[in-house]
Amino acid sequence: EPRVFSGVQPTGNLHLGNYLGAVSRWVPLQDEMPSIFCVVDLHAITAGFPDPKELSAATREVTAAYIASGIDPAKSIIFNQSQVKEHAELAWIFNCVARMGWLNRMTQFKDKAGKNRENASVGLFAYPNLMAADILAYRATHVPVGDDQKQHLELTRDIAQKFNNDFAERIRELGIGVPNPTPSPELPDELYLPLTEPVIAGPATRVMSLRDGTKKMSKSDPSDLSRINLTDDADAISKKVKKAKTDPEPLPGEMDGLKDRPEADNLVGIYAALAGMAKEAVLAEYGGQPFSVFKPALAEIAVMRLAPIAGEMRRLMADPAEIDRVLKDGAERASAIAQPVLRDMRRIVGFLDVR
């Protein structure tokens, strides 16, 4: 059965990249398929333990951002990862499925660990295994994310595929597999774990820094001018758009003209995503115009789209007990799905069940 799963780490402010690349894309999906949206607090400790009070506060803030962006907690499941123990349990099994060589190739690990790999936590190295566990504990089929998560989702498929292959006999014996939707000679006819589809689409799958069009917009950039935060007010948004780096040329009329103009390309992509347009349509409208015309239009649409979200987040955060109720209800509904999957996974592996 189709199911959506995705998540955001509660590490500091959500920014426009998280919103356009991920959260805003989840909203229409929740009407198409049962959906689960997780605040991945177990992942948030892999790059060093944040201040404990800040971690809890950020967990509530990300939850508020989901709801304020249009995720409906009555329909979709919203919860924080640490409250459903199946994630950590399945991640352990996957630690024994994934190969060191696979994880050694992960570009995000290389980026985050930097030069001093010996000093990176084991958790940071195993981060993609936990991500695979998040998805596969629900046997989710569709994972909407930004472009930077593509490699992690390929690893998730590799893990599912190796597990399905290594335990093909056992899965058939237990009669708990589902027919492989894409039969091939290399794959067993019955799979237990689905081969997940990444959903990476739209004009803003990779939003770049406003200060440097070759760098990804990120929570960890020391310059706050490099990103628009979901909690920024109208003045802050306008100021950041105004100060965004550009080149001196007017906007091109065609997509070709955006080549080798990373800053222009980025701002056009942001505008397109905010306006629900294709980049081509934005260029048809603004081609030939200077940034002194385009930037105020961009600031206006950014404020129009984002200010109501910031306002709704503030309103929700004034009542933390209500946020916690949403998370508690979500954790219970998530557990009800993950528990039977883990029961199956333990049987497949052969853990002796004595209780």
203 binds ligand TYM (CB under 6 A): no
Give me 153's structure tokens.
């989702």
Residue 262: enclosing H or E segment and its boundaries? helix 262-275
Q: Name residue 190's beta-bridge partners.
A: 179
Q: By C-alpha distance, which of 2, 8, 56 is closest to 29? A: 2
Contact code string over 283-312 relative to ligand TYM, x by CB under 6 A: ------------------------------
Residue 115 appears among annotated catalytic residues: no
Report the amino acid identity of residue 178: V
Report the amino acid identity of residue 283: L
End-to-end CA distance of the chain: 30
142 binds ligand TYM (CB under 6 A): no
181 is in an annotated binding site: no
Q: From the CB of residue 10, how many other CB atoms can be counted at a distance below 10 Å?
A: 25
Distance between CA 96 and CA 112 in Å, rounded?
Answer: 23
Residue 259 appears among annotated catalytic residues: no
Residue selected from 50, 146, 252, 269 as contacting ligand TYM according to rule CB under 6 A: 146
Residue 216 appears among annotated catalytic residues: yes
Minimum gap (Å) between residue 248 Cβ and ligand TYM: 25
Residue selected from 35, 129, 149, 229 as contacting ligand TYM according to rule CB under 6 A: 149
Planar angle of CA 70, 74, 80, nearest 5 degrees: 80
Q: What 3-state DSSP class applies to 5?
A: strand
209 is in an annotated binding site: no
317 is in an annotated binding site: no
43 binds ligand TYM (CB under 6 A): yes
Q: Which of 216, 240, 279, 295 is catalytic?
A: 216
Q: Are 138 and 172 in contact (CB under 8 A)?
A: no
Residue selected from 137, 207, 302, 310 as contacting ligand TYM according to rule CB under 6 A: 207
Q: Which of 112, 150, 239, 245 is catalytic?
A: 112
17 binds ligand TYM (CB under 6 A): yes
Residue selected from 3, 6, 64, 348 as contacting ligand TYM according to rule CB under 6 A: 6
Give me 194's structure tokens.
């689905």
Place of tokens 């402010």: 13
129 is in an annotated binding site: no
156 is in an annotated binding site: no
Q: Which residues belong to the active site? A: 112, 216, 219
Residues that bind ligand TYM (CB under 6 A): 5-9, 17-18, 21-22, 40, 43, 131, 134-135, 143, 145-146, 148-149, 205-207, 216-217
